[in-house]
Structure formats: structure tokens, C-alpha cells
Structure 1
Amino acid sequence: MQTDRGNPHWVRYPGDAALDAIPGEDGWPVVGTTLMQLADPDGFARRMIATYGPVYRSRSFGQRGVDLIGPEANELVLFDRDRLFSSEQGWGPILNQLFPRGLMLMDHDAHRIDRRALQGAFKPEPMKAYCDLLNRDIASATQAWGNGADRFGLRMYDAIKTLTLQTAATSFLGIPLGPEADRLNHAFTAMVQASVAPIRRPLPFTAMGRGVAGRRLMARWFTQLLDERRANPGQDMFSQFALATRDDGSLLPADVVVDHMIFLLMAAHDTITSSFTTLIWQLAQNPQWQDRLRAEALAVAGEAGRPIAHAHLGRMELTDLAFKEALRIMPPVPALPRRALRDFTFGGHRIPAGTTVGINPAYVHTDPALWPDPLRFDPLRFTADKVAARHKYAWVPFGGGAHMCLGLHFATMQTRILAHHILTRYDISAAPGYAPRWQAWPIPRPRDGLRLELRRIC
């Protein structure tokens, strides 16, 4: 058994025998099932479900855990009406060294207090300011994409990643990144990759060592910026966080602001990059939908290159459906961990307090029992009548319950603006027979950067 002596609410791991009654497997000596899960998480999950059913046991990253599969499991864990689960203790072993005190790693009252303080950054007036900045930066960057690019030579994931870092710098931080961009991008990449590193100690020359070094760089950078933002706030998100107050009127402590900012900047940067890359790949394969979204964007904005007003974003309904379908096919966070705070029963199995419990949105999103022909791109799955006919927790790319993604509306806004400026300027296609391989963990991305052709149409 293990415990965190510094946290009186931390629940001990159950003894090995406590999980013996749950079907599953422990894998190889020492490494357990870790390497199998990292190499092919989707294949591993499908094999386990086929063999053991929707509740199964495995052993990864040094501990046994239980996966619960299906929309009912998603609802139980995410809605968590009885406060059975800890997000902090679920994500902690994975992220504590890299993103400590991020909003996703907080529970119950502490989470509620900080979330309420941070919500001001996503109110209508700040969102309008972010919209203007996104329009400006995305229009400028995408205009240059078609200049001299080789046929099928643009690496779309890399281009989107660079652009989302730039837009995060201006809308989140209120500054152009300039020469700092590469250092910060490398730090972000190292931190995200370290989250699933098999070696969990930050030893030199290991992925975790590089991730923790990236974390130190980011913390120094944001700490230096914080005093400036408190003295001279702007319209950016960091200024909103710097001035955020708790229920008693006190400012959030400086280190807390820095931790939240690093986490949310990572989330906005990497998850939007992954999600929008998935959408573009689907549109390259489905030109009829690309044409429909292009026509919608032109109807809303009036012409290519013209900014999309914040008040008009809601009219991009087909773009919203297409984005939801891309998130279904490849959610940016394929699996979500928690830890059980008390014993509970699910699917006929008793699961003891202290058990690491996981749900698997990536599997549920492509379960043919819920989604006919699940690998086919069909945005019309998300019309109001079809949504009403499905289980509410069959689609959970943004999580759910108290931990629903705080940046949900920002992500949706940025996606619509990206789609407008890219699709009204370019026709996007892939070489015949091209099929990129995707890395599933920790956030999905095409291994080769996604090589596409952009043919300028305006």
C-alpha cells in the first residue's frame, strides 16, 4: 500500500488481493501491461473488453487499476453525484511533477473555488477580445501558408501547432512570442511527452527529466510576467487570471496563477492542435463536407479573409457539427483516470477504495453499438434529434460534471475561426493512398506531421 502523508484525504492503494476478483491481467513482471498500453492503447482496450468484458483489471505504471467502459461508466465517473472519485489522485501520479495544481488536478471545494475565480477569463467581454486577436493572427499566418509550399508538402499538424502557440501567446499572454517561441514549444512538448514516460523519476537524459526541466523554464517565465500583468493588465487571459479573486476577495497567490496558466496554456495549445488537425484530415478525405463548410464560412463572413465577428460565430452550425464529429473520431484526451475515495459497485463488481479507475472515451466514441459505421465521418450524427436519442455520456471529449473543460467555448471559437480562414483560402487534399500513422498518447498526433496539399482558391 502507498499513501501521501502530506495529504490527509489521500486514499491508500488497495492491496493486490482486493482486486483479484475483477477479471483482467497483470502483464509482464515489473512493467506489467504498461508497454502494451502505450504501444497500441486502442488495440489493448479492445482486446481486454472482448476477453474480460466492460470492467477489467490491468497493471500499468507500477500499480493495478480498473477500467470501466461504456456511457454509463462515463456518467458514473464524470458526473460523480456521490463524490466517489478524486481527479487529483487519478491524474496526480501522471501529472503532478509536470502540471501541479492544474485545475484538472483539483477536487471538490478547492476545485470549485479556483474554477469560479478563473471563469471570469471566459466571460463574454474577454471572449470578444480574444476573438479579435484570433482573427488577426490566424488570418495573417494562414495567408502565408500557400507561398511556395511543395505539392503535398505542408505538414499540417506542425503548421497548426506553431499557429496555436502564437495565438495562445497573444490571446492568453498579450505578447508576441518572437524568439521565445521555440524554447517554449520545446518545453511544452517535453512536458506532454513526459506525462506517459515509463520512467517516472526525473533522471538526467530521460523523458521525465526533460519534462521537469521544461516545467522549470515555464514557471520562471510566467512568474516574471505576472508582476507586470498585475501592474499593467491588458485584455489577455493572463491579465484576467492575475487579477482573479477568490470568494473572500483575495487575489490568487502568484504560484497558483502560474500553475493554472501553464496548465491551461498547454491544454489550449496541444489539445486544439490535435483536434483541429483531426478535423482537417477528415475534411481532406471528405471534400463534399469541405465544400459545405467553406460555403457556410463565406455566407457568414461575406468574403475570404474577412474577420468572423464574435456575434456571428453561432451561425457556423455545420462547422460545429463537423468539429464534434472529429472529436468523436479522435478525442484529444483518449482516457481519463480517477481514484476511488470509497468502495463502490459497478457492473456487478465491487471495487475498493483507493483503486485507480479509468474510463475510455476513445473506445466509447467508436463503439458500433452506439455509433453505426463508427469510422465514417458524418457530422449529421450531431443534429439535435440524434443527440437527444443517444446517452448523454456517449460523447465526452471535454469531460463532464464539475470538471467539464473550462476552455470549451474558447476551443470552439478558435476552431470556427481557423476553419473560416483556412477553408475560404485553400482547397485541402491528400496524396492518393496516403494514410498517416497516429500516435495515440498522450495527445493524438500524426507521426509524420500530416502531409497535405493546400491549393489556393482566393
Structure 2
Amino acid sequence: MGARVRTDLPAAVREDADRGQRGTGRSSRRCCATGRTASPVPGSGPSWKDSASMVLTMMLAGQDTTSSLIAWTLHHLAGDPDTQERVRAEAATVLREFGPPADPAALRGLRHTDAAIQESLRLRPVVPVMGFRPTRHTVLHGTGYDLSLPAGQSILLLLSHGARAVPDPDEFRPRRWFGTMTAQPFFPFGAGPRFCPGHNLALLEATLVVGLACRDFQLAPDGGKVGEKLAFPTGLRLRPQLRPGTAGATRR
């Protein structure tokens, strides 16, 4: 199957982009399925191989990471009934119909859901370590000392939840994201030219799944010891109970 994907995907990417350039697709300026811009200058822009690689990354590499984010968020909400109720209440208002809303912009109304996801990312980042190289000589000013980094020096940053600027860093407190937390350095999806291309899709998927889960089910821990391996949860079990009168219960 892997060999077939590597063979068929580049052809599909090129065919889709060609339709966009000919004006026979949804747009004559953009390849909608791949996000690849049809450049007016022949030979410029990403190659077909690069475009196919980006599509494959969004299709496959984002699955485990997004599901891990969703699992950790539901785990934290199961242990925090008050926050889970706030998420349920807003989801019941915003996500009234069965399934996803017709307008994805409606998900912006799920503020408590988004805060829970951000807090889960802070506590359990899917990518716990990230590598950087400064493009020029940089001095990081610390408390009592400065760290001098020459251009090209490789550094590893631990995306830990123990930042000094975060009060009670071990606690799951989504409401902190309604305050000054948004001004703190936080980049679970990377930064700069290598910023995760699936960032928006991952957050959209996580917001929708978490919101619908809390709307239709009351979540509680199901015992057992929850562990972590390579940033992914192990032994995580929940006990969902279908809420009466929900869209899911009505359709049973």
C-alpha cells in the first residue's frame, strides 16, 4: 500500500494542479485539494515531489498527532467536571445539528473547547522537543546570565509545561487562556518557515471532536494507570455515558 501511495499521489497532485492552471477546477489560480499555488512563472514554486510530500504529510503524519491531542484533552476534561460542563454547554449551543456545522467559522464560538485544547497542548505537547538554529548571532537574556548563540548553532528547546511564567504549571486550568497566557511564548506547532502546515486542520479537527464528544457524552476516567510513550498516551481509558436528549441519543 505504501508503494502505491508513493506512486499514485504525485500523479494526483499534478493532475489536480493542472486542472487549476487550465481553469477547469474550482480555481484557475489555486490547486484546492493540495493547497499548491499555480505559479504564473513556469518553473517557479514547489516541485511536484515537494507538493506530494506536503500532501502526504497532512494526510498521514497528522493523524497520530491529532488523535493524541484529542485523547489527552478528553482525558483532562474527564478529570475536570466543571470545565467539561462548560465545554458541553457551549457545544450544545454552537453545534446544534448532528455532525459538523455547515459553516466551519462557527467553531470560533467554542472558546472553552479551544482553551482546553491549548491547555492540553501545554501540558502534553505532541512534539515535546523542537530543534532550532539561529540565522544570526543571538543573545538570550536570562535571569542572572545571558546565553550567547552564534549563527548556525543547533539548540533543542523542551516544550515543557514547567515554565516559570505559568502559575501552578502542573495543573490543568484552561481558563488561564482567557487571561495573559496568550502573551506567553507558545509554539507547539513550530515557528518560522517550517511552521506545521497542518496546524489549522489539526486544531479544527480537535475542536470539533472534543466539542461533539462533550456535547453527547458525559466523560469519566475508567481507572488504570495512564502513561506516556514518545508523547503519546498509554493505558488511557474513559467511561462515556450518553447524555439524554442529545443529537446522538435521538438518532439511536
Q: TM-score range by the shorter chain?
A: 0.7 to 0.9
For the residues of structure 1 that align with 2:58 and 2:138, how far apart are their CA atoms? 32
Count the aligned residue pairs.
231
- Match 1:381 to one of 165, 176, 184: 176
Unaligned runs of 5+ residues in structure 1 are 1-182, 184-213
Cα displacement string for residues 160-211 of structure 1 (whole angstroms, at most 9, x for unaligned residues): xxxxxxxxxxxxxxxxxxxxxxx5xxxxxxxxxxxxxxxxxxxxxxxxxxxx
- State the Cα distance separating 1:453 from its structure 2 match: 2.0
- Match 1:366 to one of 162, 166, 170: 162
Are residues 1:452 and 2:238 paired? yes
| Letter matched to residue 366 of structure 1 | G
Alignment CA distance shift 1:251-1:294 (3 Å): same
In the alignment, which residue of structure 1 is the partner of 2:108?
A: 314
| Letter matched to residue 331 of structure 1 | P
- State the Cα distance separating 1:386 from its structure 2 match: 2.3
For the residues of structure 2 that align with 1:331 and 1:288, how far apart are their CA atoms? 23
1:172-321 to structure 2, matched below 5 A, reads: 183=1, 218-230=5-17, 239-241=32-34, 244-246=37-39, 248=41, 252-303=46-97, 305-308=98-101, 309-321=103-115
Q: Is residue 13–residue 34 contact of structure 2 (8 Å, CA) maintained in 1?
A: no
Q: Secondary structure at the match of 2:37?
A: coil
Alignment CA distance shift 1:277-1:245 (3 Å): same
Higher strand share: 2
Q: Is residue 278–residue 326 contact of structure 1 (8 Å, CA) maintained in 2?
A: yes
Q: Is residue 17–residue 31 contact of structure 2 (8 Å, CA) maintained in 1?
A: no
Cα displacement string for residues 238-290 of structure 1 (whole angstroms, at most 9, x for unaligned residues): 74427523473656422121122222334432321121111011111112222
Alignment CA distance shift 1:267-1:381 (3 Å): farther
For the residues of structure 1 that align with 2:11 and 2:239, how far apart are their CA atoms? 41
For the residues of structure 2 that align with 1:338 and 1:247, how far apart are their CA atoms? 33
- State the Cα distance separating 1:382 from its structure 2 match: 0.4
In the alignment, which residue of structure 1 is the partner of 2:155?
A: 357
Q: Is residue 437–residue 447 contact of structure 1 (8 Å, CA) maintained in 2?
A: yes
In the alignment, which residue of structure 2 is the partner of 1:421?
A: 212
Higher helix share: 1
For the residues of structure 1 that align with 2:56 and 2:100, how far apart are their CA atoms? 29
1:16-415 to structure 2, matched below 5 A, reads: 183=1, 218-230=5-17, 239-241=32-34, 244-246=37-39, 248=41, 252-303=46-97, 305-308=98-101, 309-341=103-135, 343-346=137-140, 347-362=145-160, 365-367=161-163, 369-383=164-178, 385-387=179-181, 390=183, 392-393=184-185, 395-415=186-206
| Letter matched to residue 381 of structure 1 | R
Cα displacement string for residues 322-343 of structure 1 (whole angstroms, at most 9, x for unaligned residues): 1111111111111111235555
Cα displacement string for residues 58-99 of structure 1 (whole angstroms, at most 9, x for unaligned residues): xxxxxxxxxxxxxxxxxxxxxxxxxxxxxxxxxxxxxxxxxx
In the alignment, which residue of structure 2 is the partner of 1:196?
A: none
- State the Cα distance separating 1:414 from its structure 2 match: 1.6
For the residues of structure 1 that align with 2:49 and 2:114, how far apart are their CA atoms? 36
For the residues of structure 2 that align with 1:232 and 1:428, how far apart are their CA atoms? 46
| Letter matched to residue 414 of structure 1 | E
| Letter matched to residue 227 of structure 2 | R
For the residues of structure 1 that align with 2:196 and 2:15, how far apart are their CA atoms? 28
Alignment CA distance shift 1:438-1:230 (3 Å): same
Q: Secondary structure at the match of 1:333?
A: coil
| Letter matched to residue 244 of structure 1 | T
| Letter matched to residue 96 of structure 2 | G
- State the Cα distance separating 1:221 from its structure 2 match: 3.8
Cα displacement string for residues 376-408 of structure 1 (whole angstroms, at most 9, x for unaligned residues): 11111101x3236x5x31x22122344443333
Alignment CA distance shift 1:420-1:271 (3 Å): same
Alignment CA distance shift 1:405-1:431 (3 Å): same
For the residues of structure 2 that align with 1:247 and 1:403, how far apart are their CA atoms? 24
Q: Is residue 242–residue 252 contact of structure 1 (8 Å, CA) maintained in 2?
A: no
Cα displacement string for residues 3-45 of structure 1 (whole angstroms, at most 9, x for unaligned residues): xxxxxxxxxxxxxxxxxxxxxxxxxxxxxxxxxxxxxxxxxxx
Q: Secondary structure at the match of 2:156?
A: strand
CA RMSD, 1 decimal: 2.9
Alignment CA distance shift 1:260-1:438 (3 Å): same
